[in-house]
Structures are given as C-alpha cells and as structure tokens.
Structure 1
C-alpha cells in the first residue's frame, strides 16, 4: 500500500509527459512513442488519475494520426474511448467534442481512379490503397463504436450518441472501399441526419448492382420504423425522392418500394388489419431479404402492440452489428 502511494505521488504532471512524447513523435520515433503513450496512460489510470490518462491518450492519438500513423493513432483512440468508460466519465458536450477532435484527425483519402489495371505498378498501387483504406475504416470504426458504447452507458440516448452514429455512418460510407450499406444504414438510423443518409443512399444507387437500389431504400425505411421512428422514415423517403429528382435520376420503381409507400401511410393510423393484409399481399417482395420480416415483426410490436412469437428474437442485433459481425 505504501509503495502504491509513493508511485502515485511521483507521477509527473501529464503535460510534462505529453511534451516529452510529442518530441519523440516529431523526431519520427513513432513506435517508441506509441509504447510510452500506452505505458504512461496506464500508469495514470492505475493511479486513478483518469483525467491525465485521457489527456495523454488524446494527445497521442491526434499526433500519430497527424503523422499518418493510422494503426498507432487508432489504437490510442480506442484506448481513449475505453478509458472514458473505465473512468465512468459522464456523457456531455465537452467530452463529445474531445471525441470529435480525434475523429477529425482520421484521414479521408480517395482510392486511386482510372488506373491501368493491366499495369503491374498500377495494380500494386490500387491494392495498397484498398488495404490502407480498410485499415483506416477498421481503426476509426473500432474507436467510434467504443465511444458509442460509452455514450450509451453514461448518459446519451440508449442507442448511444446520435452524433457519433452519424459520424461513423458517414466515415464508413465515404471511406470504405467496399461499402456495406446495411451496416452504414444501421448507424444512420440511430443518428439524426436523414438528409445526409438520403444523399448516401442516392449515391449508392449509382454504383450498386441492379436490383439493390430498392432494397437499400426499403431496408433504411424499415430500420427507422422498427425503432418506432415514423417521422424520420417519412423524411428519408421525401429526401431521397427530392434528391433523385434534382439529379435527374429515376426513383427505383418496384413492388417493394410500392409496398413501403403504402406502409408509411398505413402506420399513420390504427390499421392493424390493413398492415397484415399488405404484408401478405407483398410477401414475395418482402421475402427478397430475410431481415425484412424481422423488421416488420418489430414494427408490428412498436405500432400495434403485437408481441413477437419469440420475445428473444432480435435481442442482441444491436451489439452484433456494433461488433461488426
């Protein structure tokens, strides 16, 4: 116990270590600095000097990312978010701003276009760019998912901070070399920016496989509705239609989009028989994606109080998606 007290006393002020480690980074000793950032912050945390630990980790994450040391920066970013939870820091705007400052340091770089893929050098460049993009997205995603988990536990919305969900959705969509629109949608519907979500969907329509465009739109609408959010579901549909018109594109016309238009109208009133009739009428279209029936079960429960046959169904989906599975 006495030794522990001594260790706590002799820990220098955080700024002293921050200045020393900044010098290491500027000299190009990234690996050495990384180990010291981790060990120094761990010592502060073990002494319950969490504020100092967070200051060291934030400084290190930002510096490493500034120097394009993505793996190092992402690791320190993740430790920062995990330390927020470990130290039970309440969710507030000041702490959210600290998370945002780190997030803004993650680079946004486009994958090279118009390369001659028959050329070995160009093929190598493309391969390296894709690998680097995946590293950036994975690192940023791990950091923001940990921050979302902290925010959900310590004061934000039960799904986590909407701002953090929007940040993650936007980064995943804009930076992923291979976009998983389902995972992107998962975070956008927990955010508060249907307009940006609509822009992402319309952009996705221009590069997805034939027949995927209506699925993406309907999936997004049903996700909103499964959370009881009829307002943003309607807003998203309106925004998508407006953006499609502005860009002189064709809104995907299919039985599935027809169904979801009817569904949005039906949910505005107490009309469970009509809800069930529409679901049966458009069953073949709904069955195009297995998750649609699960979402519709959630919608029936949210809007009409219809209990799921198995109340455990659907539980864990949030954490499964957050884990990236």
Structure 2
C-alpha cells in the first residue's frame, strides 16, 4: 500500500467516525509535507480523493478549503488546463449545491488558475459553464449569468432558458431579458454564442405570443418588441464589423437613449466597429435592474 493509500485509509476512518475536522487537518498536514518535497502529483492525488470522501458527507466548508489548496498546487506545479485537471475540479464542483457559500469561495481560485494556465484569458469556458449551471439551479441568476456569458455553446442555450423562466414571471419585459444575453455575448465578441442564445431565446418567446411573427431575411420581425429586430441585426453587423450598418441601425432604432444599454453598446462600438476608443466593460452593467 502506497503512502497516499495509507493516508486516505486513515482519512476515511475519521470520516466514517464523523471526525471531519480531524480528517481535514490530517490531509492539510500531509499535503504540506508533500509540497516541501515538491511531490506535487502526490499532493494533488491526496487532495482530490479527500474531497471526494468529504463531499459525500456534505462537508462543503472542508471541501472548499481543500479544493482551493489543490488549485494552489496546480499553480505551483504549472499544471495546464486539460481534460484531466478540469475533470478533477468538475467532479468535486458538481457535488456542491449552488446556494452553498462554499461554491462562491472556490470560484475565484478556479477561474484564476484556468485563465493563467489555459487558452482563455477570461477563464476556461467549461468551468464557467459548471459554475453557471450550479448557480442557475440554485436561483442565483446574476451569478449564473456572469458565468454563462463566458461559457460554452451549451451555456448560451442554458442562459436563454434561464431568461425565459424570468420572463415568464415578468411578461412585459421580454426585450430587457433577451438584450442581456445578446449584448452580453457581443460585448465579449462571442458571435457564435450570441447566435445560439438568440435562436433559443426567440423561439421560447414566440411560443408565448398570441399573434404570429413574420420572418424577413432570416430575421424574426416583431412589432411590439421592435428592439428585438435591432438586436438580431446587430449580430451580423458585429460579425462583419461594418460600422456604417451599425450607425444606420442605431440611428433608426434610437438605441443610444435606452436605459441600461449604454455601457454594452460603447464596448461593442469600440471592439467591433472602432467607433470609440476601447473602454473596459463590466458585465455587472448589464445586470443592474432585472434580478434585484
């Protein structure tokens, strides 16, 4: 039996006896020794397996601490973001309830590591999708939205579903909710997810309308929710980065005066059309009113 297996056996004994604090501290002690020896693989293996043991007992506070410690080992060992390193994290995260404070404690270290050691500066999309899904399931819409906007193709569909649920409770504000998704994705220049989100969100909306909706050049034409026409046409304009088309659309629909859109539009103008100097964009600007 290896030293890790012996340690895990002792940890498991304490967990079975309900001695969770003792199990937690025993893991930290052994991991600290591994780190002094630069035995990073052993440290990661012990931390991961200990989290799995503790998660079955609902010890989310200990799990958050040990998972954060595992991320620190990842950083020390320069572990790259790949299916194996993400897989360990994912198996632990999926066991934590989205409403548990422990989940929020691990967001920053997990995303920070994936941003530094992965391909995406804003963090790994698959990890963002996991956080978004967990927060959405717990009803934490603002937290979920931030991660879905930086997530995968599946995140775009999930965000549309979440917005549809909120729109069902507030039927007078379809454009408000749908604009959050479209402008959000275009602000981070994710045309693919903007299209996926739009298709799903508009299909869900059309099913709730009494009057038929016509189509023109693959655009759903709305009369009452006419700003949805602008949002749909904004996507191809951003894709081809045609500033003249954007100006014509913005002037026709008078979008500059729409409350809550200015920050996102300024970012889109700079990133996609070079109209204004590039300015930092905060996703929170899109989340001001709807979920408070």
The TM tier, using the shorter chain, reads 0.7 to 0.9
Match of 1:140 in 2: 103
Displacement after TM superposition at 1:283 (Å): 4.8
1:279 is displaced (CA, Å) by: 3.1
Q: Give the equivalent residue in structure 2 for 1:294.
A: 263
Q: Would the alpha carbon gap of residues 286 and 69 (structure 1) be closer, same or farther in structure 2, given more than 3 Å must change?
A: farther
Match of 2:34 in 1: 44
Q: Shift of residue 318 of structure 1?
A: 7.6
Tell me the equivalent position of 1:229.
190
* Residue in structure 1 matched with residue 165 of structure 2 by the alignment: 203
* CA 149–270 in structure 1, closer or farther in 2 if over 3 Å, else same: closer
Match of 2:202 in 1: 241
Q: Distance in 2 between matches of 1:43 and 1:318?
A: 41
Count of equivalent residues: 271
Describe the shift of the 1:21–1:268 C-alpha distance in structure 2 as closer, same or farther (beyond 3 A): closer
**What is the Cα deviation at residue 32 of structure 1?**
1.4
Give deviations 1:226-247, integer Å, cap 9, x for gaps. Answer: 12222321221111122344xx
Q: Which runs of 5+ in 1 are unaligned?
A: 1-11, 108-132, 321-325
CA contact (8 A) 1:82 1:147 kept: no
Matched residue, 2:280: 314
Does the alignment pair 1:179 with 2:150? Answer: no
What is the match of residue 323 of structure 1? none
Aligned residue runs from structure 1 range 257-272, under 5 A: 257-269=228-240, 271-272=242-243
3-state DSSP class of the match of 2:141?
coil
Output the CA distance in 1 between the equivalents of 2:112 and 2:145: 18
Provide the rounded CA distance (Å) in 1 between the counterparts of 2:48 and 2:37: 18
Alpha-carbon distance in structure 2 between the residues aligned to 1:63 and 1:222:
42
1:14 corresponds to:
4
- C-alpha distance 23-294 of structure 1, shift in aligned 2 (>3 A): same
The Cα offsets for residues 146-189 of structure 1, whole Å up to 9 and x where unpaired, read as 2222122113322221110111111111114x432xx4222112
* Long gaps (5+) in structure 2: 214-221, 286-292
Conserved in 2, the CA contact under 8 Å of 1:165 and 1:187?
Answer: yes
- In structure 2, relative to structure 1, the CA distance for the partners of 1:297 and 1:20 (3 Å cut) is same
- Give the structure 1 partner of residue 123 of structure 2: 160
State the Cα distance separating 1:212 from its structure 2 match. Answer: 5.0
Q: Which of 35, 39, 48 is matched with 1:58 structurally?
A: 48
Counterpart-to-counterpart distance in 2, 1:285 and 1:141: 35
CA distance in 2, matches of 1:46, 1:204: 51
1:206 alignment partner, SS class: helix
After superposition, residues 16-165 of structure 1 pair within 5 angstroms as 16-107=6-97, 134=99, 136=100, 138-165=101-128
Relative to structure 1, the CA distance from residue 173 to residue 306 in structure 2 (aligned partners, 3 Å threshold; closer, same or farther) is same
Distance in 1, Cα, partners of 2:138 & 2:189: 30
SS in structure 2 opposite 1:106?
coil
Q: Is the CA contact (8 Å cut-off) linking 2:174 and 2:205 kept in structure 1?
A: no
TM-score, length of structure 1 as denominator length: 0.73
Q: What's 1:115 paired with?
A: none
Q: In structure 2, what is the Cα distance between the partners aligned to 1:299 and 1:306?
A: 9
Which shows bigger deviation, 191-200 or 217-226?
191-200
User: Contact 1:256–1:285 at 8 Å: present in 2 too?
Assistant: no
Q: Distance in 2 between matches of 1:244 and 1:307?
A: 33
The question of whether the paired residues in 2 share the 8 Å contact of 1:63 and 1:73 is answered with: no
